Amino acid sequence: MVPPARCQTRMRVEDFRAWVEHRPGDGRWELIDGTPVPQSPQTSRHQRIVANICCRLDALGERRDGHALPGLGVLSAAMEDHAPIPDVVVTCGPLGADGYTSDPVLLAEVLSPSTQQTDLGAKTRFYRTVPSLRVFLMVHQETARVEVWRRGDAGWSMRGVGPDDTVDLPELDGTLAVSEIYARAGIV
């Protein structure tokens, strides 16, 4: 994996967006803790899991004028030095034209060995600052396990689910079976 680009000072989202606009078109970048970080191509297993999640969540979201999209950047006014790109983002209402959203209702990250520490650390902290976000999923890639992070009246809580479980998604008036997430991904 390519190391993060080095900056003398922490980059803010506004500067990052201008910077990334002038990057070559063959790579994607996200901003984590004020540092631009390149995204590597994903394995076929990772992509299969993302496709499964995206298809199921898009079907659920359609009933609420929602869209499940891969590769949409997420912004939060609470953290001006982050612009991560989760694997799947669900938004409701009109789509923005710039590839970013600040009002996701649900998102999913498929954990990779090279990014797992960032996904479970800096990105999890960031996602918890997005006011519109109700739930996010941290999806393990090597085993059928999903961490379901949900915002409730008392704050955020996390619950792990396994291969025989179903994730309730009242935000989309539906459910997502863990078996659907891993269908055809070669995980038992």
Tens of each residue's pLDDT in the chain, 188 residues:
445 544 457 888 888 888 888 777 667 787 888 888 877 778 899 999 999 999 999 999 998 889 999 989 999 988 888 889 899 999 987 777 788 999 999 999 999 888 888 888 899 999 999 999 999 999 999 999 999 999 999 999 999 999 999 999 999 999 999 999 999 999 86
Residue at 133: amino acid letter: L
Contacts 24+ apart (CB under 8 A), 38-42: 38/1, 38/2, 38/4, 38/5, 39/85, 40/1, 40/2, 40/114, 42/110, 42/112
- Compute the distance between CA of residue 188 and CA of residue 186 in angstroms, rounded to an integer: 7
Q: pTM of the predicted model, to two decimals? A: 0.82
Q: Could you give the domains of the chain? A: 42-181 (3.90.1570.10)
| Residue 65 in tokens | 């004028």
